[in-house]
Structure 1
Amino acid sequence: MIMLRAALILLFCAGTAWSHESEHKSPTPDLREQQEWGIAGDASAVTRTVEVRMLDTMRFVPDEIEVRLGETVRFVVRNEGLMMHEFVIGTQADNKAHAALMLRYPNMEHEAAYMAHVAPGGEGEVVWHFNRPGEFEFACLIAGHYQAGMIGVIRVVGK
């Protein structure tokens, strides 16, 4: 199953056009596809904004976030470091597989509504609608960052 997911991620990433050397400030509206952890949100439906700082110590602040089932959240992610970072929402299995691919292909280009690539000193955002309960991850999947512990938890709890 993990090999299948890794192959699908590689296939998805092969057809996208995102470079980690660039900055991305908002999700692309045409990337609304249901995921296990929710679906890209509509900015007009945002009920709350959560600010997340990304640090060169390979940490997010905060690293635990609780949201309500049905909530649409705007994540404003600020890179306070001197190196590129990203904010990617997913399941632990998906993020782990994607992080392994990034180790093999560090310049791999990709883009999705559930990720923001943020240059040093920059800011990005992800608007996400949490329509599935559970515990999910947000992580930096740049080669070595996930392995160094740049991971956070999103808990989606009942209304």
Structure 2
Amino acid sequence: MKTMQFIAACALLIGANSTFAHGNSSHGAAAGPVVKEQKDWGIAGDAQPALRTVTIEMTDDMRFSPDHFSVRRGETLRLHVINKGQVMHEVVLGTQASLNEHAQMMLKFPGMEHDEPYMAHVAPGKSENLIWNFNRPGSFDFACLIPGHFQAGMTGRFTVTE
């Protein structure tokens, strides 16, 4: 019985590693339709209604600039994420709890790759666009979850107002 559980666990890890690993390519590399799944902090948006762009710069001092932005409920933003550093960085939108959980998984499985519409994984000197509809009011967070970056304080916050 333990052998079967071990085999099942290995199969899950192999599948997860091939599906969710961080490589050197951006999340936008795979051209396919965006899966729209409602999250506590919003839902994937369409580029067409994105009337406003917020540029977020990431640097090797493990900081975002700006580290806070505000948006009105229902607004779709284009987050233009620029990596000004020499190492890979990312922006992941979420709640403090979801980011903490994901950061812990990244420490255990640093090769994880994922392609979610609320994430932008950006190579040094490159930029990516993240289109998100902020349809839930509240205060939420964003972070770079690459191992060591989150722990060094590479976090930010966004506020969705009514």
- TM-score, length-scaled by structure 1: 0.86
- The alignment status of 1:111 with 2:115, answered yes or no, reads yes
Distance 1:57 1:28 in 2: 33
Please give the root-mean-square deviation of Cα atoms over the aligned residues, in Å: 2.0
- Distance in 1, matches of 2:123 and 2:85, equals 9
1:41-98 Cα distance to aligned partner (Å, 9 max, x none): 0111102000000000000000010000110000000000000000110001000100
SS of the equivalent of 1:31 reads coil
> Residue type of the partner of 1:93?
A
Q: Where does structure 2 lack aligned partners over 5 or more consecutive residues? A: 1-11
Distance 1:124 1:29 in 2: 17
DSSP 3-state at the match of 2:102: helix
SS state of the match for residue 22, structure 2?
A: coil
Query: In the superposition, relative to structure 1, how do residues 132 and 97 fare at CA in structure 2: closer, same or farther (>3 Å)?
Result: same
3-state SS of the aligned residue for 2:55?
Answer: strand
Alignment of 1:58 onto 2:62: yes
One-letter code aligned to 1:16: T
CA drift at 1:125: 1.2
Unaligned runs of 5+ in 1: 1-9
State the SS of the aligned residue for 2:132: strand
Q: Which amino acid aligns with 2:19?
A: T
**Mapped pair 1:143 → 2:151:** no
Q: Out of 53-62 and 14-23, give the one that drifted further.
A: 14-23
1:121 aligned onto 2:120: no
The total of aligned residue pairs comes to 148
Cα separation, partners in 2 of 1:28 and 1:48, compared to 1, 3 Å: farther
Kindly state the Cα deviation for residue 19 of structure 1 after the two structures are TM-superposed.
3.0
1:32 equivalent among 23, 32, 36: 36
Partner of 1:30, secondary structure, is: coil
Q: How far does residue 124 in structure 1 lie from its aligned partner after superposition?
A: 0.7
Provide the residue aligned with 1:22 in structure 2: 25
Match for residue 79 of structure 2? 75
| Structure-1 separation of matches of 2:142 and 2:154 | 9
Whichever of the two has the greater Rg, that structure is: 2
Q: Percent identity?
A: 53
Cα distance 1:118–1:79, how it changes in 2: closer, same or farther (>3 A)?
same
